[in-house]
């Protein structure tokens, strides 16, 4: 999974300078949580698609028999 470039930028700045740390750490945490939400949504959609696929396969089996 590719990590966006701004995450690396915020990590570098927050580790080198203590003064800017809170705001940059906030942006890093926000972007990180945003990616976690996207991954969870993708997993839910994948499960939904998989259920639909199973239903279609079952119907085809019933029709063919």
The residue among 41 and 1 whose pLDDT is bigger is 41
Structural domain count, the chain: 1
Domain that holds residue 39: 5-64
Instruction: Report pLDDT for 52.
Output: 84
* Residue range 19-43, pLDDT digits in tens: 445 555 656 667 777 788 888 888 8
Angle (CA) 21-37-27 rounded to 5° is 15
DSSP-derived 3-state class of residue 1: coil
The model carries a pTM of 0.36
């Amino acid at each position: 999974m590719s990590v966006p470039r701004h995450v690396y930028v915020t990590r570098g700045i927050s580790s080198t300078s203590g003064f800017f740390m809170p705001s940059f750490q906030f942006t890093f945490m926000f972007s990180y949580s945003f990616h976690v939400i996207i991954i969870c949504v993708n997993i839910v959609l994948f499960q939904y698609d998989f259920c639909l696929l199973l239903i279609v396969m079952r119907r085809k089996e019933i029709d063919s028999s």
